[in-house]
């Protein structure tokens, strides 16, 4: 699929982005191993999250779609999980694969997990290492343990594991395995990563303690089902947020958006750059802070971003780079080498796409350097099968001169199937999907 985008006039209005992808994955998994029935509203019906739901069905969990973006999950507890007859096909979902590896590692079963061509290139060694320290056997392809991956689980012991880098996926996989281990499991991170797993485990009655950067889980308690309302995905809202800042005369409200502080590093970065952003209507849903994000066109200045801020905006760095093309001065993004092993080499892909559109952008070993402001030009660009690169290119195209054609835009469906329609509803009339 191609996405054709013409430059637009002012964007205006309010939009509620789909449910948060990270929370949707975790809500399905933890509800599946709770003792009883749970209702999940606002579940993100994208390919990644639907793959996780289907994998849980293969493990013997009854999951029923009861309305649009609403699932009813009949939890079977950990002991009720069954060995699947076929491999778990995780599509393009790195989060789904890593969390499911942690879940099945604790059970006395052998499970193979596979993925599409892109996922089959992504390393799983950071999951393999702690799971094997706990007693599981994990076999993948090559030195980096790429999929297909086979996990032989059961008889785990709790460990204290210090992660080499902040990663919510690694932390969550270890905690999920720890639910089945003998003895307590502690994960220590070098800096804070998103904490949805800890919040949800606590809400469902797990014995979990957070002490700074150390999270300790003591197994033994049966999880209790909770009705969960998944808040709007901040990572999806980020595209409209930046579009509002860059398109002249725009003012946009992003309603019911997740505002978990482990996810909102982009708000801090844009604030430092001079963005006119305010938060209203703050509340809490399912233990997560939410609110409405108001953004309007702003004159931006360059900034330098790295360190502990990066894990809190790791998925938003491509769209931050788009903002930096219109900021006065040179923006430096560092400590983001994790982006080399996402759906694409996200640093290289972002530099390639924005460079093709006329941006003054270069790669660093661990980040990007962007000098602005520059006037972007429409171009034909390749998403490299990466949904965040594709959507970032679409936002850049809104302020470029001439038409931009984004090849491989079907990848957007993995996280935000309504993306083009929501752009149109805010006033971007020159957005057209083309099969």
Q: For the chain, how big is the Rg over CA atoms in Å?
A: 21
Residue 245 tokens read as: 């800042």
Q: Strand 431-434 and strand 160-162: pairing?
A: unpaired
Cα-Cα-Cα-Cα torsion 336, 339, 345, 347, nearest 10 degrees, comes to -40
Q: Which of 195, 315, 335, 386 is catalytic?
A: 315
Instruction: Phi first, then psi: give them for residue 181, nearest 5 degrees.
Output: -85, 165
Side-chain-side CA neighbours of 299 within 13 Å: the count stands at 2
What helix, strand, coil percent values describe the chain, rounded to 5? 35, 30, 35
190 neighbors 165 (Cβ within 8 angstroms)? yes
Q: How far apart, in whole angstroms, are the C-alpha atoms of residue 12 and residue 17?
A: 15
Residue 196 tokens read as: 């949805």
Name, in order, each residue with C-beta under 8 angstroms of 211's C-beta and a sequence gap of 6 or more.
Answer: none
**Where does residue 355 rank: exposed (0-12), middle (13-18), buried (19+ CB within 10 A)?**
middle
Question: Which among 333, 283, 342, 320 has a CA at the least distance from the CA of 396?
Answer: 320
Instruction: Phi first, then psi: give them for residue 60, nearest 5 degrees.
Output: 100, 15
Start-to-end Cα distance in the chain: 4
**Does 315 participate in catalysis according to the annotation?**
yes
Task: Give the residue numbers annotated as catalytic, written as ranges.
Answer: 315
């Amino acid at each position: 699929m191609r996405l054709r985008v013409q430059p637009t006039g002012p964007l205006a209005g309010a939009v509620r982005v789909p449910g948060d992808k990270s929370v949707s994955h975790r809500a399905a998994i933890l509800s599946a191993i709770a003792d009883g029935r749970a209702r999940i509203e606002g579940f993100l019906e994208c390919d990644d999250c639907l793959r996780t739901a289907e994998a849980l069905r293969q493990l013997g969990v009854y999951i029923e779609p009861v309305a649009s973006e609403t699932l009813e999950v009949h939890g079977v507890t950990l002991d009720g999980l069954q060995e699947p007859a076929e491999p778990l096909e995780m599509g393009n979902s790195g989060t789904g694969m890593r969390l499911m590896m942690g879940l099945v590692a604790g059970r006395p079963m052998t499970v193979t997990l596979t993925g599409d061509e892109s996922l089959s290139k992504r390393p799983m060694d950071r999951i393999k290492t702690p799971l094997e320290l706990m007693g599981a056997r994990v076999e993948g392809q090559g030195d980096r343990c790429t999929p297909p991956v086979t996990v032989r689980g059961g008889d785990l012991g709790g460990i204290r594991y210090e992660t080499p880098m902040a990663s919510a996926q690694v932390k969550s996989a270890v905690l999920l395995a720890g639910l089945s281990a003998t003895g307590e499991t502690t994960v220590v991170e070098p800096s804070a990563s998103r904490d949805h797993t800890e919040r949800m485990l606590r809400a469902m009655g797990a014995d979990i303690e957070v002490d700074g950067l150390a999270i300790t889980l003591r197994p033994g308690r049966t999880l209790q089902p909770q009705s969960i309302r998944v808040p709007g995905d901040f990572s999806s809202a980020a595209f409209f947020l930046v579009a509002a800042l860059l398109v002249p005369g725009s003012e946009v409200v992003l309603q019911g958006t997740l505002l978990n502080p482990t996810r909102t590093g982009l708000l801090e970065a844009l604030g430092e750059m001079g963005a006119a952003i305010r938060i209203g209507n703050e509340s809490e849903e399912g233990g997560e802070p939410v609110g409405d994000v108001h953004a309007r066109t702003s004159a931006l200045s360059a900034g330098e971003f790295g360190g502990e801020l990066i894990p809190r905006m790791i998925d938003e760095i491509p769209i931050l780079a788009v903002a930096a093309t219109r900021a006065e001065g040179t923006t430096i993004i560092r400590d983001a080498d994790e982006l080399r092993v996402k759906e694409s080499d996200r640093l290289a892909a972002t530099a390639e796409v924005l460079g093709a559109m006329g941006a003054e952008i270069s790669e660093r070993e661990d980040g990007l350097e962007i000098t602005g402001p520059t006037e972007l030009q429409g171009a034909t660009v390749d998403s490299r099968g990466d949904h965040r690169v594709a959507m970032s290119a679409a936002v850049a195209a809104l302020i470029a001169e001439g038409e931009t054609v984004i090849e491989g835009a079907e990848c957007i469906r993995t996280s935000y199937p309504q993306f083009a329609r929501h752009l149109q509803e805010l006033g971007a009339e020159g957005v057209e999907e083309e099969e």
